[in-house]
Amino acid sequence: MRVGVFGGTFDPPHIGHLILAQHAYEQLHLDCVLFIPAGDPWRKRSRDVTPAFHRLAMTRLATVDNSVFSVDDCEVTREGATYTVDTLRELNGRLGAGSELFFILGEDALADLPHWRDPEGIAAEAMIAVVPREGVELPPLPFSSERLVQVVMPYIGISSTELRIRARDGLSLRYHVPSGVEAYIHEQGLYRP
C-alpha cells in the first residue's frame, strides 16, 4: 500500500492543500492520502494557533467528498509537542511491512527540514514527496537525494495566513476553502477579533 502523508497546521485547510494532495495521489500512484493536522505545532509557537479540535474538524470537512482522502487524528490526540518523525514511525508501525509512506511537503518546508527533529529519521521512515517552489534555494540535506520524489502542480497563490486575515476582516472565503469549511469558520466565529 502506498500512502501519502500530508501533515500541517491546516489553519484553515484550503483548496491549495486539496489540489496538492490530489496531484500527489495521481502522480505517485498512491492508494490514499492521510491528512494529519498538527496537535501542538512546535514550529508555530511564535503565533496563536486555532485549537486543534477546530483544525481537525475543518480538515475533516475539507476532505469529506474525496474517497481517497482521510484524516488521521494521531497528532491531535498525542500529548505534548508533535514531531513528524514520531508520526511517521507510528504510521509505519500501524500499517505494517507492506506499506510505503510518502511525506508530502513544499520545497519551502523541505528547505527548513534540517531544523526539524531528526530529519534523517524522517527520510528513513518515508520518501519525501516535494512540490517545487520558485525562488527556494535548498541547503545541503542530511539524507540522500534518492529519498526525494517530485510532485508537479500549478502554483496556487492562497495561504492560510491570508485566509485568516480575510476572515478577520469579514471578507468572503468562498472559492478559497470548501463550502463546509467556510460555514464552520462562520458558525464557530473563528479568526474574528
Q: Share the mean pLDDT of the chain.
A: 94
Domain spans of the chain?
A: 2-159
The 3-state secondary structure of 60-105, one letter per residue:
HHHHCCCCCEEECCHHHHCCCCECHHHHHHHHHHHHCCCCEEEEEE
pLDDT tens, residue by residue, 12-45: 999 999 999 999 999 999 999 999 999 877 655 5
Residue 43: the pLDDT is 57
pLDDT tens, residue by residue, 67-98: 999 999 999 999 888 899 999 999 999 999 99
pLDDT tens, residue by residue, 8-18: 999 999 999 99
E-strand stretches of the chain: 2-8, 32-37, 69-71, 100-106, 127-131, 148-150
Q: In CATH, which of 3.40.50.620, 3.90.1200.10, 3.50.50.60, 3.30.470.20 is domain 2-159?
A: 3.40.50.620
pLDDT tens, residue by residue, 43-58: 555 578 999 999 999 9
Residue 82: the pLDDT is 86
Q: What is the pTM of this model?
A: 0.94
